[in-house]
């Protein structure tokens, strides 16, 4: 295992599967009798440049369930890279806590935190990727289908940080990954290159289809996300003009397999990228998926402390 949890591409397929198996175990344990306090006297610093519901609560509760503690650090309290250098923040926190989780705008900030820290650093989200979300996604898919192997996962919408990590975990764990979105909003070439390198080793497929109707044919999983992410607000009007054909609605879902599940990392802009009928319908797994953030992140934390 690596010291930090920065990107899924850093881990082998076996390491990721081992982490997910632990997540399943910890979830069952929590539901039956509660988790053992295996992180007693351990503390996590949670650095937030972006606000969050799921990331903050799930990491905080993960530490509590395992007997540890979590400290929330707001943008105003740190001013990462502005009030104080990232290197100094990282080295100071290394003497106060046992692990750092950071939710940032720039991916380079995560890399710098990890470079200077003497303790594990978890990427809670960056503009490049969102590996913790993808672990919860994979956990949700595995609970539904038993495995990700040979499944067809279709991501509809902006080729953003969520799409990057979803693509990489699909390739690592044996699922084919299809992206469908506007031509100008495809997944970055760097992330795509890494994904295809992984796919070559695992025998999976990665593809882009501009037509969402074609993309979802025989899909096992349909995934979508907001058209405009935090930090892109000035692009909202432009994006709202080109993304409507990529709405996940009942008509689109009907073109997939009858047992297809629909995922969304949330928050959802209902009536834009997804309709109420789908978000609240029989194919939706949006809320089990959100709850799985808690258990997937427990496994990540525990594995990092095993080092």
Is residue 293 part of the annotated active site? The answer reads: yes
Is residue 133 part of the annotated active site? The answer reads: yes
DSSP output for 17-44: HHHHHHHHHHHHHHHHT----TTTT-EE
188, 164 Cβ separation under 8 angstroms? yes
Q: Which helix (H) or strand (E) holds 54?
A: helix 54-65
Q: Dihedral through CA 51, CA 142, CA 13, CA 307, nearest 10?
A: 60
Of 98, 127, 137, 225, the active-site residue reads 225
Of 137, 293, 295, 297, the active-site residue reads 293
Rounded distance between C-alpha atoms, residue 176 and residue 68, angstroms: 38
Of 4, 65, 98, 103, the active-site residue reads 103
Of 54, 65, 130, 179, the active-site residue reads 130
59 Cβ contact list (under 8 Å, min separation 6): 44, 46, 70, 101, 124, 297
Is residue 225 part of the annotated active site? The answer reads: yes
Of 17, 112, 133, 272, the active-site residue reads 133
Of 4, 60, 127, 265, the active-site residue reads 265
Can you say whether residue 306 is alpha, beta or left, with left for phi > 0 and alpha for psi between -120 and 50 degrees? alpha
Is residue 276 part of the annotated active site? The answer reads: no
Residue 109 burial by CB count (10 A; 0-12/13-18/19+): exposed, middle or buried? buried
Q: Characterize 161-176 residue by residue with b for buried, 16 or more Cβ atoms within 10 angstroms of its Cβ, and e for exposed.
A: bbbbbbbbbbbbbbbb
The structure tokens listed for 124 are 């809670």
Task: Give, to the nearest 10 degrees, the angle between helix 161-173 and helix 189-202.
Answer: 10
Can you say whether residue 187 is alpha, beta or left, with left for phi > 0 and alpha for psi between -120 and 50 degrees? beta
Which residues are part of the catalytic machinery? 103, 130, 133, 225, 265, 293
């Amino acid at each position: 295992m690596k010291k930090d949890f920065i990107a899924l591409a850093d881990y082998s397929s076996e390491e990721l599967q081992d982490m997910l198996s632990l997540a399943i175990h910890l979830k069952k344990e929590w539901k039956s009798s509660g988790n053992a306090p295996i992180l007693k006297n351990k503390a996590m610093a949670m650095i937030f440049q972006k606000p969050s519901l799921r990331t903050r609560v799930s990491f905080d509760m993960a530490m509590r369930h395992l007997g540890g503690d979590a400290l929330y650090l707001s943008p105003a309290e740190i001013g990462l890279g502005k009030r104080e250098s990232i290197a100094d923040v990282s080295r100071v926190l290394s003497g106060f806590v046992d692990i750092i989780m950071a939710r940032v705008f720039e991916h380079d900030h995560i890399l710098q935190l990890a470079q200077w820290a003497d303790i594990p650093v978890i990427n809670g989200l960056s503009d490049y990727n969102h590996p913790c979300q993808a672990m919860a996604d994979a956990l949700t898919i595995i609970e539904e289908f038993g495995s990700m192997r040979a499944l067809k996962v279709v991501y509809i919408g902006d080729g953003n940080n969520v799409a990057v990590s979803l693509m990489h975990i699909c390739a690592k764990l044996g699922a084919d990954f299809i992206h469908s979105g506007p031509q100008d909003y495809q997944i970055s070439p760097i992330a795509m290159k890494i994904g295809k390198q992984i796919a070559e080793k695992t025998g999976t497929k990665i593809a882009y289809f501009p037509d969402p109707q074609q993309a979802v044919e025989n899909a096992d999983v349909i995934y979508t996300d907001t058209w405009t992410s935090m930090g892109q607000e000035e692009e909202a009007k432009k994006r709202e003009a080109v993304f409507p054909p990529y709405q996940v609605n009942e008509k689109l879902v009907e073109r997939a397999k009858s047992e297809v599940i629909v995922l969304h990392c949330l928050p959802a802009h209902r009536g834009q990228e997804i309709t109420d009928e789908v978000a609240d319908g029989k194919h939706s797994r949006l809320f089990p998926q959100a709850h799985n953030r808690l258990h997937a992140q427990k496994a990540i934390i525990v594995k990092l402390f095993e080092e």
